[in-house]
Structure 1
């Protein structure tokens, strides 16, 4: 027992030394150098536009046509690429954006469409398919890391719970959920409440229990659990142990600090936007900086059956500063070339405007956007008709997008995992082909 205590004391001393070094500024310089290291593992930030964004008013406008509505398009930093007037900051970064304008899917129901684009398939009997974040986490995680390999900020899981979980990969690849179910739509949050929403709950020790005492208790639990599981091997026991170990690592002060935005420059926080989505994007940068492979941040409110144009304008007022600042921040820290940024929802909206000045569900022709690491920006791929109702050039399906994202992240999309029914399942369905035009 004495040996174990001595080892933990040595580790605590080492951790203390690391903290003192980081205060000196050395850690920041090291992080920037690590970001530029070609051997650095890649990360992905998914900006999830919940509800189905009107991509016809964002990325593929139809000026001069009745379906186009009042939104205007503007030039970007990439010659020939034009996007919405409500995204001026992103337009200045147009050379970083690859807009896929020819998405065509067949699911117009929120739940089924969400499941499809997040898992790459539709529900199939007893098979519990994992969400994209879990698949990436499994391939890119660092076994020695204290932070979880997958973090989800403000997910809206009500209509498709299974689309957000690890499925047959198991709980070790489940997301750490922050601000669960909290709305990130504009006008519903701000100020100190955002910091409280982004705080990971239940990570403090019980009152009166010191860190050394907590370490001793965890060590005792580990000894007892090892004996128990040795006699009772199986998934349930392994999952229980994995969850406790992950929670214990997350409780370390240096680990929880990743979720504390109070030390960030106020001007940087303002640039992202003092709302849940903006600060969630800032948190994503902090987590990527610390090696987390997959972070998703949800912006809710895109189900614009009524008053679509005012709603899109307001939502863009949140999306534009947050996303553009994330790109610049990652670039300044040497992390953009190793970080893929994807922006999508479950489908688009109808080109035809309804009597409530809204747009309804539409999956036949819509857009997603990719940027950052592994992506050749400054272009639009595919084309829709002048009225926006159909894809006329380079149709792209969900498996194609997921295969492209895997390729950009250095993941073999043809690799197989063993499912819960004993059947090997590819990371991406065999129908998926990477979109070569957008890959750097």
Structure 2
């Protein structure tokens, strides 16, 4: 299937009527744009979506699988590291003793011990994991998972459908790059919630712009939008003022103000998640899901421990364990996991043997991922590594399959072709399948 409306910053191949040109000129003169049509869904979909929303918790830098979800207690000391192991609710499955809370919640998620990215390079592996595509396409990058979701699915609220919650992201990919799909599908950056002075960008009025004035301007836009809806939808027209439109919607939207207000949470809930950036990021993610944000990307980076790995992990692993366990249990208790797919992964794992600097280096041949919600069968382990945790020996899962899993959950036709800026049809993903064991059992 082809979608000729992709790549909104480039000429369309379906043409425009005479009135389209009149309308475009008239609205351009006053800086107005058409709103996103809410009825747009992936027209090639033939099955019911399993989820309305997705939360990706991205462990940028590369989580050490040996010291978290795939310990090797029988291996030599330079491989097993300094941590002990603890049992989980799954018979015979052990975690690092730093993952005490998640060990109690294995019924809520599926653990995949066979991540194979195939690259040891941060930016390359990150791009692959967050697009599901390898390399570059002719004319530039592939769009990220969140950008495709925003392009293919109708928004469910006035909030941006694609929101990133960053933490000093090293690469633009870690924030959800739209590439040639255009600015309209870029992630909205919520800012660093761990900052004591955190304020959401565009959630306050610009100096000298009164709310009444902004409301009048939005009313003018809406009046013209209502007329324009009678005519053919112009994607180029919508993109003309996308940034201003998005900013105004956020400023005036009670939904947005409510969703981003972490102070509305009880002290008990904030304490459960943690009042550090780990907990605040995931607490915000839960609130954004409640506000029907389609795709939330949480960047929990900082895992690139080439030296003194235990100085970093002694605090980072318990923080991840506490905040992620709080998030999953809270989502479950509120009934939000039913309609939300949660995926937790980074760009790769880390080497089995500790190096001379007491660190672990990049390793694209093994790693761990977690999936929860949207009907995923919790309480299972998919995949296995060898006795050193060095190579995946059963059920490897590659970036294309991770992307297909996310699209499958949302009901997006990932075999669909979009028209690139060069005019060539480009499949959303290469030929692949989702990780079906997540729903059928390992």
Q: Which residue of 2 aligns with 1:422?
A: 423
CA spacing shift, 1:259–1:415, aligned 2, 3 Å: same
Which structure has the higher relative contact order (CA within 8 Å, separation 6+)?
A: 2
User: Which residue of 2 is the match for residue 91 of structure 1?
Assistant: 103
The 1-side partners of 2:375 and 2:424 are apart by 31
- Does residue 151 (structure 1) correspond to residue 129 (structure 2)? The answer is no
Query: Helix, strand or coil for the counterpart of 1:46?
Result: strand
The answer (yes or no) to whether the contact 1:111–1:159 under 8 Å persists in 2 is: yes
Shift of 1:55: 1.4
Distance of 1:382 and 1:158 partners within structure 2: 29
Task: Compute the RMSD of aligned alpha carbons.
Answer: 2.8
The 5 A counterparts of 1:370-409 are 370-409=371-410
1:392 Cα deviation after fit: 1.3
The Cα of 1:204 is off from its aligned counterpart by: 2.4
**1:218/1:407 Cα in 2 relative to 1: closer, same or farther (>3 Å)?**
closer
Picking from 165, 168, 180, the partner of 2:180 is 168
Decide which of 140, 156, 179 is 1:127's aligned counterpart: 140
Deviation of 1:59 (Å): 1.4
> Hey, what does 2:74 align to over in structure 1?
64
Which runs of structure 2 are paired with 1:171-190 in the superposition (5 Å)? 171-179=183-191, 182=192
Is 288-297 or 414-423 further displaced after alignment?
Answer: 414-423
Q: CA deviation at 1:89?
A: 0.9
CA contact (8 A) 1:349 1:363 kept: yes
How far did 1:379 drift? 1.3
Offset at 1:315? 1.0
**Paired residues of 2:164 and 2:175 also in contact (CA < 8 A):** no
d(CA) in 2 for partners of 1:425, 1:153: 29
Deviation at 1:241, TM superposition (A): 2.4
Give the 3 Å change call, closer, same or farther, for CA 151–309 of structure 1 in structure 2: same
* Cα distance change of structure 1 residues 78 and 252 upon mapping to structure 2, 3 Å threshold: farther
**1:108 corresponds to:** 120
Uncovered stretches (5+) of structure 1, i.e. residues with no partner: 1-37, 228-232
State the shift of 1:258 in Å: 1.2
- List aligned pairs for 1:275-424, cutoff 5 A: 275-424=276-425
Question: Partner residue of 2:266?
Answer: 265
Preserved CA contact (<8 Å) 2:49 2:411: no
Task: Tell me the secondary structure at the aligned position of residue 366 of structure 1.
Answer: coil
Question: CA distance change for structure 1 residues 221 and 244 in 2, over 3 Å: closer, same or farther?
Answer: same
The 1-side partners of 2:335 and 2:174 are apart by 35
Report SS of the residue matched to 1:256.
helix
Aligned-residue offset at 1:157? 4.1
Aligned residues: 386
Q: Report if the CA contact (8 A) 1:112-1:160 is conserved.
A: no
Q: Which moved more, 1:130-139 or 1:269-278?
A: 130-139
Task: Specify the SS of the correspondent of 1:309.
Answer: helix
Q: Normalising by structure 2, what TM-score? A: 0.80
Is contact 2:175-2:297 (8 Å) kept? Answer: no
- Change in Cα spacing, 1:409 to 1:80, as seen in structure 2 (3 Å) is farther
Match of 2:216 in 1: 216
In the alignment, does 2:54 pair up with 1:44?
Answer: yes
Question: How far does residue 424 in structure 1 lie from its aligned partner after superposition?
Answer: 2.4
**SS in structure 1 of the partner of residue 126 of structure 2:** helix
Alpha-carbon deviation of 1:221?
6.3
The aligned residue for residue 7 of structure 1 is none
Deviation at 1:302, TM superposition (A): 0.3
Deviation at 1:46, TM superposition (A): 0.9
Is the alpha carbon distance of 1:334 and 1:89 closer, same or farther for their aligned partners in structure 2, counting shifts above 3 Å?
same
Measure how far apart 1:124 and its partner are: 2.9
TM-score, normalization by structure 1:
0.80
Deviation at 1:235, TM superposition (A): 6.4
Find the aligned partners of 1:178 and 1:73 in 2 and give their Cα distance: 36
Aligned-pair CA distance for 1:295: 0.7
> 2:294, 2:82 → 1: CA distance?
39
For the 8 Å contact 1:134–1:175, the answer to whether it is kept is: yes
Paired residue secondary structure (2:303): coil
Instruction: Output the CA distance in 2 between the equivalents of 1:62 and 1:171.
Output: 45
